[in-house]
Structure 1
């Protein structure tokens, strides 16, 4: 049974905001390195991937997962730009390039992941 349109729109809006929070955290933290190990990038991708998987599995709604991913990518895009005073949160580094490319791939995989059929749904 499908929920009403206002309920679904509300779910998508909340998913977008939560995704934006995770995207912001990942955008800020991805550049942290522990010696040579890119700990911030690994944790940012793991956190975003876990959130996308949770939304996909709990809501069984590709659109909610897409809204979450769009929130993540929007936050990354907005906070990767040069600020009004000329400051840059995300400098042009290899880690930033990996973060910028890996996040949309992660979102695409989560949204495109096939649904599992239950025995009674055949």
Structure 2
């Protein structure tokens, strides 16, 4: 593929949108409805859907990678202790599942083979 400023802009937008989804998922992953971790389920489904949509609609692994990097960086930043001592991601099972599952989803979507198949060669 050749260089294109449009692709670079798409990567920057994907990075920003991935960051927004990362913030939303990191904040809501601990929401429970009774004993069902609804926030975690919705956050993982939403992030997976965004990554799949970017990968399928653009056909570009780098755009999906940019969105995944945005999600991962925001999750990493919000997993620490804030300047006032506040904690967004406590050290519990849901936070661990969110962190590991998000990383696995990012890797899976980026590493999935493209749907392009080569044509069978005609015997001459």
TM-score with structure 1 setting the length: 0.93
Other-structure match for 1:58: 57
Other-structure match for 1:73: 72
Number of residue pairs the alignment of both structures matches: 119
SS of corresponding position for 2:80:
coil
Q: Does 1:106 align with 2:87?
A: no
Other-structure match for 1:97: 96
Other-structure match for 1:23: 22
Structure 2: runs of 5+ lacking an equivalent: 120-124
Other-structure match for 2:82: 83
Other-structure match for 1:39: 38
RMSD in angstroms over aligned alpha carbons? 1.2
Shift of 1:4: 3.6
Shift of 1:39: 0.4
Shift of 1:3: 5.9
Structure 1: runs of 5+ lacking an equivalent: none
SS of corresponding position for 1:88:
coil
SS of corresponding position for 2:114:
coil
Deviates more, 1:79-88 or 1:109-118: 109-118
TM-score with structure 2 setting the length: 0.91
Q: Which has the greater radius of gyration?
A: 2
- The structure that is helix-richer by fraction is 1
